[in-house]
Amino acid sequence: MNPDLMNSDVHERARLMIALFGEERPGPEELSNAERSWLAAHLESCASCREFAENSRETIRLLRAIPITAGERLVSTTQMRVRQRAQELQRQQERFWVVCVCCAAVTLSTLVTTPVLWRGFAWMGEQARLSPPVWEGGFVVFYLMPAVLAGILLLARGTFLTDHNGSYQD
């Protein structure tokens, strides 16, 4: 027997059964045969619970009869909004992929060019009779210059990320 129904007094138990399982509902939420016969016997003898059962049925019927419908305008506006948002998300995703591809290309070209550049700086240092720390310093500055410049430009634009993610909901 349903343990929730065990501790209440008989009328309360009958009414809880009616409220929860009074309708014919398929599936695991049906009352067991024993509970069903107990409830039937109780309703037979208890006018007050019988009234509760009738009132419950009528209340549920009326609840279902309350007409609330969405208008066509709401549906079409929503569909349009969702499509617009989908396009925004699509564009964001495309931008994300472009950034990913650019990052991959930069990484690859860095891996290829760094040793060549290093040897080039070493050769120029030798030709100009510079000590290794000097041409090595020159290499580091030359190497980092694009990243530093890009950083400064991005900072100058200030709200770069907020501008581009402004429409991003949490």
Partner 1 sequence: MNAAACYFVRAMADENTEIAHGLRRRDPELLDRLIEEYQHRLLRYLMYLTGRRDLAEDFFQETWVRVLERGSQYDGRHEFSTWLFTIARNLVIDHLRRKRPASFDSLADPDGLAPFDIAATAQPSAFDTTVQREQNEQISAGMQHIAAEYRETLVLRFQEGMSLEEIANVTGAPLGTVKSRIYRGLSALQPWLKGARL
Task: Name which of Zn ion, partner 1, none residue 165 binds, using a CB cut-off of 5 to 8 Å depending on partner kind.
Answer: none
Tell me the number of residues near partner 1 by CB under 8 A. Answer: 36
* Cβ neighbours, 10 Å, residue 117: 14
CB atoms within 10 A of CB 155: 9
Site string for Zn ion, 32-71 (x = CB under 5 A): --------------x--x----------------------
Least separation in angstroms between CB 12 and Zn ion:
9
- Give pairs for 133-140: CB < 8 Å, separation 24+: none
| The two three-digit tokens of residue 21, written as one number | 């399982």
Instruction: Give the CA angle between residues 151, 152, 153 to the nearest 5°.
Output: 90
32, interface contact from partner 1, Zn ion, none, CB < 5-8 Å by kind? none
Partner in contact with 63, chosen from partner 1, Zn ion, none, beta carbon below 5 to 8 Å by kind: partner 1
**Distance of alpha carbon 76 from alpha carbon 71, whole angstroms:** 9
Q: According to CB under 8 A, which residues from 20 to 49 bind partner 1?
A: 20, 26-27, 29
Q: Based on the shown chain and the rule CB under 5 A, indicate whether residue 5 belongs to the binding site for Zn ion.
A: no
**Measured from the CB of residue 35, what is the shortest distance to partner 1 in angstroms?**
14
Out of 32, 37, 90, 114, the residue judged to bind partner 1 by CB under 8 A: 90
From first CA to last CA, the distance across the chain in angstroms is 46
Residue 67 as a binder of partner 1 (CB under 8 A): the answer is yes
Of 118, 158, 154, nearest to 138 (Cα)?
Answer: 118
How far, CA to CA in Å, does 67 sit from each of 23, 119, 122?
A: 21, 81, 84
Considering only residues 10-39, where is the footprint of Zn ion by CB under 5 A?
Answer: 11, 14
107 binds partner 1 (CB under 8 A): no
